[in-house]
Amino acid sequence: MLQTRAQRANLILQTDAVRLRMGHDSSMRRRRKLAVFADFAIPWSVGVFLLLVVLDEGDKHDDPTAVLVAGLAIVLVQAIALRWRRRQPERVTALAVVTGFAFQLLYPSVVLPIPALFAVGSLAAARAPAVSLVGLAGVVGLSATNFFTATVEDSVFTMSLAVGAWALGEAARSRRVAIDKESQRAMADEQARIARELHDVIAHSVSMIVVQAAAADDVFDERPDQARQALRSIEQAGRDAMAELRRLLSAVRPGLQEEGTEPQPGLHRIDELAESLRAGGLRVAVRREGEPADLPAGLDLSAYRIVQEALTNTLRHARATRADVTLSYAPDALELDIRDDGRAPAGNGTGGHGLVGMRERAALLGGTLEAGPYPGGGYRVHARLPL
């Protein structure tokens, strides 16, 4: 039943991951479509609006033809430049400010420098404030020319719009930077998780293979049947290691995952783990206290890995003959207790990648882990994982 529940939990996690990926891809597609539409609509809309302004204001000058030709040239340059505001925001902003001054001289009644507002917003969205504030200063200076041709209220309003456009762009840039940092942090956490999993799998499997090979060599002539059993254990350990490695590497290369791959191990496989260690000469006794409960997939996997790493250390370093594993189920926590009759590892249990990895697993779940020599002799690892 526990294995079925673990498989169900693993299937749910995989389904949720697929849904998240689908939602993320759908969101990215909508954003790309919106960006393409904006790149097309904004230059055309601004160009048409300024064209209407040029045609409407042309009769108010002494030489309407020359002013009309100059105005149309400025409108054409500004509309085309806005098409490139995402790729080259500095140049587009500079061009929008310079041509904006020229447009203001020809048509002083136009208060809003619309191309410059779009340009500085794109500049702030693409570049850090050290760069975008220079562009904002240029747009504010352009807006300040309205003090000579318009009211103070209109001039201040135009300058406020310039600051608002910059602020919107800066907010978009800050959000994008925050998302990138969160993605990098998530990638680092995933890399650390995979590193811990690889360490646990390889350390346990290689230790089993070394111990079984040594045992087979010792009894090869006198007890060929026992040597044959040790070789079978080596084969099974190698197969299990390959399956675990394939499952882990499928996170970075999905094509490596095959149909029928077993779900991540959990406490339901503790008896199998103990049996494999017994074949290596270590007597392992597993005891359960309390009513076994349905555990979250992450906690179930971490608990299994802690027990596996503790027993692997016993097999490799403690020179023990016996290990006792106690799983205590309580309403609010799961407690793991692993004791052996061997000696303490070097460093008194304070160092080593295995112990560090066990402590990290417990800490990520909000739990604690203690490891050290036991007063009555031997070594003890005790973990408390809150539910």
Dihedral sign for Cα atoms in the order 78, 82, 87, 89:
positive
Residues 209 and 238: their CA atoms lie apart, in Å, by: 8
Task: Read off the tokens for 165.
Answer: 């456009």
Model confidence pLDDT, tens digit, residues 339-387: 888 766 544 444 556 777 788 888 888 889 998 887 777 888 999 998 8
Q: Does the pLDDT at position 8 exceed 90?
A: no
The mean pLDDT value for 86-111 works out to: 88
Residue 148 CA: distances (Å) to CA of 67, 99, 157: 20, 18, 15
Model confidence pLDDT, tens digit, residues 369-380: 998 887 777 888
Check: CB of residue 319 under 8 Å from CB of residue 211.
no
Work out the angle between the directed axes of helices 152-218 and 297-313 (0-180°, nearest 10).
40
Among candidate residues 384, 314, 305, the one with its CA nearest the CA of residue 345: 314
Model confidence pLDDT, tens digit, residues 282-314: 888 899 988 887 788 778 888 888 888 888 888
More confident residue, 239 or 97: 97
Residues 333 and 293: their CA atoms lie apart, in Å, by: 10
Q: Does the pLDDT at position 336 exceed 60?
A: yes
Q: Residues near 105 by Cβ (< 8 Å), separated by ≥ 6?
A: none
Check: CB of residue 282 under 8 Å from CB of residue 314.
yes
Check: CB of residue 196 under 8 Å from CB of residue 357.
yes
Residues 197 and 358: their CA atoms lie apart, in Å, by: 11
The mean pLDDT value for 111-118 works out to: 88
Task: Read off the tokens for 14.
Answer: 């995989």
| Secondary structure (3-state) at 380 | strand
Residues 59 and 282: their CA atoms lie apart, in Å, by: 101
Check: CB of residue 94 under 8 Å from CB of residue 74.
no
Residues 263 and 273: their CA atoms lie apart, in Å, by: 16
Q: Does the pLDDT at position 82 exceed 80?
A: yes
Contacts 24+ apart (CB under 8 A), 240-246: 240/205, 241/201, 241/202, 241/205, 241/206, 244/197, 244/201, 244/205, 245/198, 245/201, 245/202
Model confidence pLDDT, tens digit, residues 48-77: 888 888 887 766 666 678 888 888 898 899
Q: In what order do the strands lie in the sheet with 379-386?
A: 283-289, 322-329, 333-340, 379-386, 368-373
pLDDT score at 17? 46
What kind and span of H or E run contains 327?
A: strand 322-329
Which amino acid would we find at residue 127? R
Among candidate residues 241, 266, 236, 252, the one with its CA nearest the CA of residue 334: 266
Domains and CATH numbers, the chain: 32-183 (no CATH), 265-387 (3.30.565.10)
Model confidence pLDDT, tens digit, residues 196-217: 777 766 766 676 777 767 767 7
Residues 330 and 25: their CA atoms lie apart, in Å, by: 42
HSE-CB for 156 with a 13 A CA cutoff: 3
In the block, residue with structure tokens 């103990």? 274
| Secondary structure (3-state) at 383 | strand
Among candidate residues 266, 244, 245, the one with its CA nearest the CA of residue 385: 266
In the block, residue with structure tokens 């002013």? 67
Which class for 128: exposed (0-12), middle (13-18), buried (19 or more C-beta within 10 A)?
exposed
| Secondary structure (3-state) at 150 | coil
